[in-house]
Amino acid sequence: MLFGLLPAALGPLFLRSLGETATMVGASAVLSTLIGLPLGIALVVTAPGQFLERPALNRVVGTISNLVRSTPFIILMVAIIPFTRLVAGTSVGTTAAIVPLTIAIIPLYARLTEAAMREVDQSLIEAAQSMGATPFQIIRKVLLPEALPGIVAAQTVTLVSLIGYSAVAGTIGGGGLGDLGVRFGYQRFMPEVMLAVVVVLVAIVQSVQFLGDWTARTVNHRIPRKRRVARAHS
Amino acid sequence: MNAAPRLSSLESAQPLSETRRDAVRIESLSKTYDPAAGPVLDDVSLSVRKGDIHGIIGRSGAGKSTLVRCLNGLVEPSSGRVFVSGRAITGLSGAPLRAARREIAMIFQHFSLLSSRTAAGNVALPLEVAGLSRREIRERVPKLLDLVGLRAKADSYPSELSGGQKQRVGIARALALDPKVLLSDEATSALDPETTEQILDLLKSINQRLGLTVVLITHEMDVVRRIAHAVTVLEAGRIAESGPTFETFAFPKSAVARSFLSSIVAHDLPPELAKTLRTEPGHDTDPVLRITFTGAGAHQPVVADLVERFGVRPNILHGRIDTIDNRALGVLAVVLEGGETLLEPIRTHLSSLGLSSEIIGYAVRPVAGRPRAAFS
């Protein structure tokens, strides 16, 4: 089992933990994208001077997102237990852990996508406006496609952060690899379990990063194709 | 707004012929962004005839970018009104403004193409925005790319195109919705001279073939000379002068127009030469006459004529002949040696030939044995 690091008996447990991590990270990644991307768009288009300028709203959303981001995850997780119970029906377990994970990651994702979309040249928005594009068309046909490489990079960073946060979620019974590592590797003095957990997490993070970088490069047409290929092979 | 009914009644009182002839009419337009900095546009009134290429030239900060953005409502003026093909643009917002913008296309200095779309995809954008069906878009995009000679590059991304090719895509994109007016915001400023020439030729041929009115913002008089029928010179937010290109080039009235023209038409002597002239006649000076040849007069043997008729010895200081709006324009600065007493008859004679002349100074006669300072 796993390079002979783990006692065979721990195999099923390990797989279950891996599944829990995947569930927590996957579900909160999807949810935070669904909520965070519109928030990121809102932060860009309502900024002063933008085409849906709403400075007051922009400040409120910005401040809330900063508040959430500056709260340590473990504190946030405990602080929003009543909300978690309201949404998930329980405050313990893998499903319950998805709620604080999502809440914690939304502001990060929104800020990262906001930064990516802010990089889109203002003249492109002006060009779309001069064609008679509606705000929705500008967002869908200009802002999002032009910022796509940056949005993919934001997605990558978010996923990696989520994998890290998910380890903490073990404290409220969320399970997952991190929890396995703490319970067996640390509390039961089985360093080989800890090592296995770290090896797998490193492998997952590496794969996510590699896939994210590759996707970002593929959707980026700002660099000519020939040079992009050359860069990928160098 | 209670002033609205009054304005619209004024508008309907406009003679129909005028709205038909003018593709763009700007009425006492002003724009102030920051009251402390003063107005960017100050009471600008201007008409662009239908089918004309109208150049608007000014230095950076003269307000030309703001002016052109008032034409498609990207900038809301502080006061004044803008009409494009008879339709009031100022005061429009939302859907009516977007509908109006679809008739006013724009091309940009840095092309403003989406890096995420191919050439064909960029040309398709305004068609998608206007809600055309996929089939219609597939039919029209190749035709538009043909129009600018870029069909072979349909599947290339902007990053794989040269500057000139990118601007061609920009032009095809601008023409996609059959606009009534094309706004060009420094469209050739980022291009090298050769490519600039190609893009200007393309704009000229589009103007002729489609009868499309073009409003062209530039800081280069050479762009105006090559393709504009009329020109407006902006300085510090005001119109310094405005008129047909040839007349403006031949007889510029404002100092700013003269300085823009200095590299093209020899209205002013080169500074090192101008320095040697005196402003008042003296016992040791000869008058310097600037003769402006226009049209047919440009081909007359004027200098020889002066020698024969008046016995003066014209000495050419400076001169240049150019073609502007398909007409010849020459400017010649001559020292009339021994001509001070004959000035009036000479000028009368020139004007009878249809040439305008002006005394621009007095050259100091060279001391015997020493050449004239201007030629040393």
pLDDT digit string, tens, across residues A192-208: 888 888 999 999 999 99
Q: Is residue A151 part of a domain?
A: yes
Residues A156 and A179: their CA atoms lie apart, in Å, by 23
Touching check for A142 and chain B: CB below 8 Å? yes
The residue written with tokens 């979309």 in the block is A117
Q: Is the pLDDT of residue B6 over 80?
A: no
Q: Across chain B, which distance is largest between two alpha carbons, in Å?
A: 84
* Closest residue in chain A to residue B178, using alpha carbons only: A131
Q: In the prediction, which pLDDT does B15 show?
A: 46
- pLDDT tens column, A139-157: 999 999 999 999 999 999 9
The three-point CA angle B349-B350-B351 to 5° equals 95
Percent of chain A with pLDDT over 90: 67
Smallest Cβ–Cβ distance between A222 and the set B128, B130, B159 belongs to: B159
Q: Which of chain B's residues have a Cβ under 8 Å away from the Cβ of A121? A: 110, 112
Nearest CA in chain B to A144: B116
Among B124, B110, B125, B111, which Cα is nearest to A140's?
B125
Residue B208 has pLDDT above 70, yes or no: yes
Instruction: Express as a percent the part of chain B with pLDDT over 70.
Output: 91
Asked whether residue A215 carries a pLDDT value surpassing 60, the answer given is: yes
Contact B48, B22 (CB under 8 A): yes
The CATH number linked to A15 is 1.10.3720.10
Q: 3-state DSSP call for residue B282? A: coil
CB contact under 8 A, A130 and B105: yes
Q: Do B106 and A127 touch (CB under 8 A)?
A: yes
CB contact under 8 A, A127 and B129: no
Residue B11: pLDDT band by 50, 70, 90 thresholds?
Answer: very low
* Cβ distance of A132 and B101 shorter than 8 Å: yes
Reference A36, options A74, A1, A65; nearest CA is: A65
CA atoms A27, A62, A60, A69: torsion sign: positive
The answer to the question of residue A173 being in a domain is yes
- The pTM (predicted TM-score) of the whole model is 0.83
- The two three-digit tokens of residue A233, written as one number: 């092979």
Segment B48-73 mean pLDDT: 92
Residue A137 to residue B106, Cβ atoms within 8 A: no
Please answer yes or no on whether B101 and A131 come within 8 Å at the CB atom. Answer: yes
pLDDT tens digits, B260-311: 887 777 777 888 888 888 888 888 888 888 888 887 666 678 888 888 888 8
Tally of structural domains, chain A: 1
8-state DSSP, A222: S
The domain in which residue A115 lies consists of 8-233
Check CB contact under 8 Å for A225 and B157.
yes
CA B121/CA B128 separation, integer angstroms: 10
Identify whether A29 is part of a domain.
Answer: yes
* CA atoms in the 13 A half-sphere facing the CB of B374: 22
Q: Do B177 and A131 touch (CB under 8 A)?
A: yes
Q: Residue A1 falls within a domain, yes or no?
A: no
A232: confidence class by pLDDT, cuts 50, 70, 90: low
Residue A3 falls inside a structural domain: no
Asked if B156 and B115 touch (Cβ cutoff 8 Å), the reply is: no
Residue labelled with tokens 């008042």: B280
Instruction: Dump pLDDT digits (tens) for B355-373.
Output: 888 888 888 887 765 555 5
Which residues, 6+ apart, have CB-to-CB distance to B260 below 8 Å?
Answer: B57, B221, B233
Determine the residue type at A31: L
Q: Hey, is A101 helix, strand or coil?
A: helix
pLDDT value at B340 more than 80 = no
Q: B158-161 contacts: CB < 8 A, separation 24 or more? A: B158/A221, B158/B111, B158/B113, B158/B114, B158/B115, B158/B117, B158/B119, B158/B122, B159/A221, B159/A222, B159/A223, B159/A224, B159/B115, B160/A224, B160/A225, B161/B119
Q: Tell me if B114 and A142 make a contact (CB, 8 A cut-off).
A: yes
For the record, the structure tokens of B108 come out as 């940009």
Q: Residue A175: what pLDDT? A: 85
Judged by average pLDDT, the poorest of A199-203, B11-15, B155-159 is B11-15
Pairing of strands B104-107, B181-185: parallel
Q: Is B70 exposed, middle or buried (0-12, 13-18, 19+ CB in 10 A)?
A: buried
Work out the average pLDDT over A81-104. 92
**pLDDT value for B370:** 53
pLDDT at A233: 53
- Which of residues 119 through 158 in chain B touch A, CB cutoff 8 A? 125-126, 128-130, 157-158
Interchain CB contacts (distance < 8 Å): A and B: 74
Does the beta carbon of A121 lie under 8 angstroms from any beta carbon of chain B? yes
Q: Which residue of A has its CA nearest to B117?
A: A221
Chain A residues with CB under 8 Å of B98 CB are: 132-134
Average pLDDT over residues A106-119: 96
Mean pLDDT computed over every residue of chain B: 86
Measured CA to CA, the distance from residue B330 to residue B250 in angstroms comes to 8
**Strands lying side by side in the sheet with B22-31:** B41-49, B22-31, B79-84, B87-88
Q: Which of A26-40, B82-96, B219-233 has the highest mean pLDDT?
A: A26-40
Minimal Cα distance from A149: which residue of B? B116
Binary contact (A133, B129; C-beta < 8 A): yes
The answer to whether A191 contacts chain B (CB < 8 Å) is no
Q: Is A92 a member of any domain?
A: yes
Question: What 8-state DSSP symbol labels residue B65?
Answer: H
pLDDT at A182: 85
